[in-house]
Amino acid sequence: MLRLFAVRAAVLALLAGCGGALLASSPAEAACTCTDAGVTQHAADADAIFSGTVRETRKPEPDESGRIKGEFTYVVDAERVYKEEGTVVTATVQVSSARSAATCGLGNLSAGTAYIFFAKARDAGFRAGSCGGSGPVSDELVSDVERVLGSGKQLVPDSELPELVLTEVESAAPRSVGRLAAPGAAAALLGLLGLVFVRVAGSRR
């Protein structure tokens, strides 16, 4: 009888140990795993690569159950563009990403964060993730990007663009057809009179 209890206890201990191992491994299995690719490969995969400062992070609204689903959207003041392929990076862009780092998202970026985005073009704005090469601006990352793509081009903020000043041009009434034709008619009349004068003078001789 004691032996039976001992076997049961051993089985329960084994099951408890397996359950603990499964629970311990769940976060690791759910975590984002990225392939080991360098800047060169990330640059080839991206539609646009640019650096900028996060102005605002817009969070999705919770649903009826209170759960927050969807993506973060970052409003970014772009400063330097390294690549544009089939798209255009303007001075202010929106970049979306998964909310959690566990799903390969960039997470909740605070305002003022300087970032380099390796992004895919979307119908409106861009999308970026933690496995695509994006990361906080650092000397190392900037050096790697410039080694592959060059120094890029500096963007001019919208606030620094020159203001267009429209000058009203005074409109004048169009000249009538009669006034336009008058100089030509006078020249033709003078020519005709001259021809008559020549003929009369010739006949007198």
Q: Tens digit of pLDDT for each residue in 78-126? A: 999 999 999 999 999 999 999 888 889 999 999 999 999 999 999 889 9
Q: Domains for the chain: give ranges and CATH numbers.
A: 46-60+69-152 (2.40.50.120)
Q: Mapped to the 3 state alphabet, what secondary structure does 13-59 carry? A: HHHHHHHHHHHHHHHHHHCCCCCCCCHHHHHHHCCEEEEEEEEEEEC
* Cα angle for residues 86, 125, 62 (degrees, 5° grid): 150
Tens digit of each residue's pLDDT (9 = 90 or more) over 43-58: 999 999 999 999 999 9
Mean local confidence (pLDDT), 22-32: 51
